[in-house]
Chains A and B, each alone.
Chain A
């Protein structure tokens, strides 16, 4: 139910509002507004690319939107976990869900969830409450994964609307046109999800008992790769060049959307569905 609430928020509320803001207030055309709305609302880079394909946008558009999403994700990761520690440390899972709903791109969201967990566990421990680790990060990751798995359906919906009502080229659009617009990498998402689900459900108990240890080993690499990812983004980001290419107007939409309603609506929904639910105590 909480995952469904996250899906509804990202696809039906965030997307509609960001698209309206971009089109009506900032005068972006459809080719720009749709990938921008998906990038800000859903899960950043992959959503912008999927939407760009679905509406047949020029490749430069999802690329620029993705650059913007990644830069803002880094800024969010540096700010939001500390706000969560300060104001939400007594509601750890609200904090985890909020990070999942507010930070776009999966890597940044999970990194944000990990930082939030460390900060909140430390503060809770200082107050005499010791929670089991993994629950806040798990909440962030679960919320994000629920949002991600519907990218394909949303791309299909947008492809259908753009084919039949906006870029109408014949009396009736062929199904193959929608299929051609459909981002095929989504099929990899679905296949991975199905294989993962099959393995999770079919794993014998004796093997499953060893999984936490294996995850602990893998986490070392996760942390290293996260650090390298964001280090690389910082090294490669040429803000002057991006500004010259006109990213300022796109950034304005992002800032207004993010601070105007994305983080607030995310906070309200996280509070509605996660308040009062606490991670188990350690020991």
Chain B
């Protein structure tokens, strides 16, 4: 069974523009992630966890 030539495939790959669903996935992930991190950081600041 022949192995796929990955190097050639990567060099010759046709451009695949970002679909709207991919832009949404990236945007919502980053947005939700940053907001949640800020919320957690604020909670951690005012109610610090201890061992």
Q: Residues of A at under 8 Å CB distance from B?
A: 1-2, 4-5, 8-9, 11-13, 15-17, 19-20, 23-24, 27-30, 32, 58, 60, 64, 161, 165-166, 244-247, 249, 269, 272-273, 276-277, 280
Contact = CB atoms under 8 A, between A and B. Distances in A.
A166 B27 CA distance: 17
Nearest to B41: A272
Interface residues of B, number: 33
Interface in B7-40: 7-11, 13, 15-16, 18-19, 21-22, 25-27, 29-30, 32-34, 36-37, 40
A1 to B, nearest CB: 6
A156 to B, nearest CB: 14
A13 to B, nearest CB: 4
Contacts of A27: 13, 15
Given A245-B6, A277-B51, A13 B33 contact: yes
A207 B50 CA distance: 26
A132 B15 CA distance: 54
A165 B13 CA distance: 21
A165 B32 CA distance: 21
A64 B10 CA distance: 13
A280 B30 contact: no
Contacts of A247: 6
Contacts of B11: 246
Given A20-B26, A166-B22, A246-B11, 14 more contacts: A5-B41, A9-B37, A12-B36, A16-B25, A16-B27, A27-B13, A30-B22, A58-B4, A60-B6, A161-B25, A165-B19, A245-B7, A273-B40, A277-B49
Given A1-B40, A17-B30, A166-B21, A280 B49 contact: no
B30 A13 contact: yes
Contacts of A58: 4
A277 B8 CA distance: 51
A12 B21 contact: no
A252 to B, nearest CB: 11
Contacts of B26: 16, 19-20
A12 B30 contact: yes
Find the residue from A16, A28, A166 having the highest chain B CB count within 10 A.
A16
